[in-house]
Structure 1
């Protein structure tokens, strides 16, 4: 796909990977709308893009609600005149032991990380079909490929998002809409600010711009998936398939330190 002049909607586009994606798309000549639920953060993001010589359309809405999804799509279509690329990037996380995680926080992760992208994609399909050359990008997580302790719900919903994307890709094959899944590893974003785990616990961090560039390269090459984390992550993924007990043993040794480091990790 040639990204120039494409009309792009990025949910959760006011910070982190979403904002980096907005800048990367704009640098390649796309037209971009970003959505976020915090008015001040959307304004700040637009100002940051303007300072770099870019112009995007900002939408203040919560895609975890039906009203927010409708407003997001309606405003994006009005501003862009159609839609070629939908990036389901908005997400939330709450780490910790499952039995200590409030039901409200579990439901919040399910709503924003899984229900919202499914329903927003469903609503956007007519506009994407009208494009004739469209892409849906679902931003999952490396934890969807290797389940980590204290992230049970997050792993569940991100894995669900990945399989949703895989099934939808096959459902839409030959109909002018491609579906790609991205699996970021640890990324230096506001969402990770309350996570104190470092590389020794499997949480290395790369710049959001590196993830954004990889996602755009995946779109351009019509890739099925983009997996970050390098050779070390690829080896862990392979080992998780061939000998999952080995991963269990490795994580067992890290459990006490990991639980302490992620107990306050919350971005909902």
Structure 2
């Protein structure tokens, strides 16, 4: 897909991977609307994106709510006159043992990481069909491919989003809408600031810009998925499929240190 002139809605676009994707798409000539819950971040993001030389619009909205989803889509259509690409990027995480995670935290992850992208996609489909060359990008996580201890709910909802993407891609095949799933690894974003897990625990962080660049390449190649983490991640995925007990043992060794490092990891 050629991004020049494409009309794009990016949820969670005020920082991190969403903001990097906005930069990358605008540099290819796309017209972008970003959403976010934090007004100050949206203002900073808009100013940073305008420096790129293109206009950008921002919608302050929480896509985990029906009103936020409706407003995001309505304002996007009003500004852009249509929609070619939807990027479901908004997300939240709360790490820790399942029995230490509150029901509100669990429900928040389910709502923002899984329910919101499904319902926003449903609402956007008529407009993506009208485009004739539509694209849906769902931002999952490497944890959706290899479940990590202390991320049980997050792995569950991101894994659900990944399978939603796969099923929807097949449902829409031949109908002018493609679906691509992005699997970032540990990324240097505000969402990761409260995590103390580093390279020694397998959380080597890469810049959000690198994730966005890989996504742009994937879009250009009409890829089904973009998985970050290189050869190391690919080997772990293969091992997790063929010999999951080996991954269990690897996590068992680092489990105490990992639990301590992610105890305070929260971005909801």
Interval containing the TM-score (normalised by the shorter chain): over 0.9
Deviations 1:145-187 (A, max 9, x none): 0000000000000000000000000000100000010000010
Task: Determine helix, strand or coil for the equivalent of 1:86.
Answer: strand
Query: Contact 2:136–2:177 (CA<8 Å) still a contact in 1?
Result: yes
Number of the residue aligned with 1:69: 69
Query: Counterpart of 2:59?
Result: 59
Deviations 1:95-139 (A, max 9, x none): 000000000000000000000000000000000000000000000
Partners of 1:141 and 1:74 lie apart in 2 by 28
List alignment gaps of at least 5 residues for structure 1: none
Counterpart of 2:242?
242
Any residues of structure 2 matched to 1:96-245 within 5 Å, and which?
96-245=96-245
SS in 2 for 1:5: coil
Residue number in structure 1 paired with 2:39: 39
Distance 1:50 1:226 in 2: 27
What are structure 2's unaligned runs of at least 5 residues? none
Q: Is the 8 Å Cα contact of residues 113 and 161 (structure 1) preserved in structure 2?
A: yes
Corresponding residue for 2:80? 80
Distance 1:23 1:95 in 2: 29
Contact 1:136-1:179 within 8 A present in 2 as well: yes
* Contact residue 17 and residue 189 of structure 1 kept, 8 A: yes
Q: CA deviation at 1:50?
A: 2.1
2:22 — aligned with what?
22
Whole-angstrom distance in 2 between the partners of 1:165 and 1:196: 30
Inter-partner Cα distance in structure 2 for 1:129 and 1:217 = 23
TM score, norm. by length of structure 2: 0.99
Write the distance in 2 (CA, Å) between the matches of 1:102 and 1:60: 27
Distance 1:5 1:52, change over 3 A: closer
CA RMSD of aligned residues (A): 0.6
- Structure 1 segments (4+ residues) deviating >6 Å: none
Contact 1:6–1:31 (CA under 8 A) maintained in structure 2: yes
Question: Per-residue deviation at 1:249?
Answer: 0.2
Per the TM alignment, residue 54 of structure 1 is displaced from its structure 2 partner at its CA by 3.3
TM-score, normalisation: structure 1: 0.99
Contact 1:23 1:54 in 2 (8 A): no
